[in-house]
Amino acid sequence: MTNQIMVKMALDAWNSQIKNGDDLLEKLSDEQLMTEVAPGRNRGIYLVGHLVAVHDRMLPLLGLGEQLYPQLNEPFLKNPDNAKAAMPSVKELRQFWKNINSTLADHFSKMQSDAWFQKHTSVSAEDFAKEPHRNKLNTILSRTSHLSNHLGQLVFLKK
Amino acid sequence: MTNQIMVKMALDAWNSQIKNGDDLLEKLSDEQLMTEVAPGRNRGIYLVGHLVAVHDRMLPLLGLGEQLYPQLNEPFLKNPDNAKAAMPSVKELRQFWKNINSTLADHFSKMQSDAWFQKHTSVSAEDFAKEPHRNKLNTILSRTSHLSNHLGQLVFLKK
């Protein structure tokens, strides 16, 4: 019972930030997303691609399958924003954003509460035995903070 | 046992963002904090005061006592940033930031795991019976997102 409550708490917090992202992206035009969120800082397109790539990597991290968009790792994870880098269009990234988040939501809806307290794939069995908090649900907490951090920046694109 | 793990997960996530805030504030000068984080957006001083006020209100929310700095509610919670409003100095706010966060940490270190799953003070007993996820630990998750969101903005003051 308590496990169920905890899973709901963490997923509610995650879903609330995803909803904030959905709402914000609806308000921003493709043109706005091509501009820097602040002078000399990342462009909107980079932050959206970065968030999609980080969420996409949650699939292998949680043992839910392969990445859907491995082509995003190079421009949005391994490199800083670069207007000359090959990138999908904002329209494509909007679609990827919707798709990766709904794919994750589908998987999450099928996971039993206890499964969330199992180890994720980047921690060894030995370390997990000593540090049982390094479980799948913990990755939701850290990814929620990550998302919230970048949404605080993307919001600056709003007029 | 699982309760303990979940409390550790949530407090680790919170402490990690507090540490990010500590590190960032050390790198920013008082002068930098008097400037806007992006053109036409909040000044650093406002975001710091806002975070202190929100953290301060966690004391009554969690049933841990009265606010230490109720004088911050007016300029940092009830009103938007305003260069003409009466505000403490950046130096004072730095001290308040340290003090409220260490006060909370002291309280948290004394709380038993089960206490985190009790209701906070803004939910009624009737609602809590139906929605047991509206507990004290849940407020840590939401405040962690809030902190992370604004730290993503404050970081723009770095040169």
Residue from A17, A15, A13, A12 nearest A155 by CA: A17
Contacts B150 to A, Cβ<8 Å: 152
In this prediction the pTM is 0.97
State the smallest CA–CA distance between residue B35 and chain A in angstroms: 13
| Residue A1 confidence (pLDDT) | 66
Work out how many domains chain A is built from and give that number: 1
Q: Give pLDDT tens digits for B9-52.
A: 999 999 999 999 999 999 999 999 999 999 999 999 999 999 99
Q: Average pLDDT over chain B, rounded to whole?
A: 97
Average pLDDT over residues B131-159: 97
Contact A133 B16 (CB under 8 A): no
Q: Give pLDDT tens digits for A143-152.
A: 999 999 999 9
* Whether A42 contacts chain B with CB within 8 A: no
Query: Whole-angstrom Cα distance, residue A149 to residue A71?
Result: 24
* Whether A40 contacts chain B with CB within 8 A: no
Q: Which of B1, B8, B9, B37 to mutate to test the interface with A (most CBs of A within 10 A)?
A: B9
* Whether B38 contacts chain A with CB within 8 A: yes
Contact B152 A156 (CB under 8 A): no
* Whether A41 contacts chain B with CB within 8 A: yes
Contacts B140 to A, Cβ<8 Å: none
- Domain range holding A127? 3-157
CATH number of residue B78's parent domain: 1.20.120.450
Digit-by-digit pLDDT tens for chain A (159 residues) are: 688 999 999 999 999 999 999 999 999 999 999 999 999 999 999 999 999 999 999 999 999 999 999 999 999 999 999 999 999 999 999 999 999 999 999 999 999 999 999 999 999 999 999 999 999 999 999 999 999 999 999 999 998
The packing angle between helices B136-154 and B2-27, to 10°, is 20
ipTM score of complex: 0.96
* Whether A104 contacts chain B with CB within 8 A: no
Contacts A13 to B, Cβ<8 Å: 138, 141-142, 145
State the smallest CA–CA distance between residue B69 and chain A in angstroms: 25
- The confidence band for B1, taking pLDDT boundaries of 50, 70 and 90, is low
Q: Which of B1, B2, B119 to mutate to test the interface with A (most CBs of A within 10 A)?
A: B2
**Torsion on CA atoms B76, B81, B87, B91, rounded to nearest 10:** 90
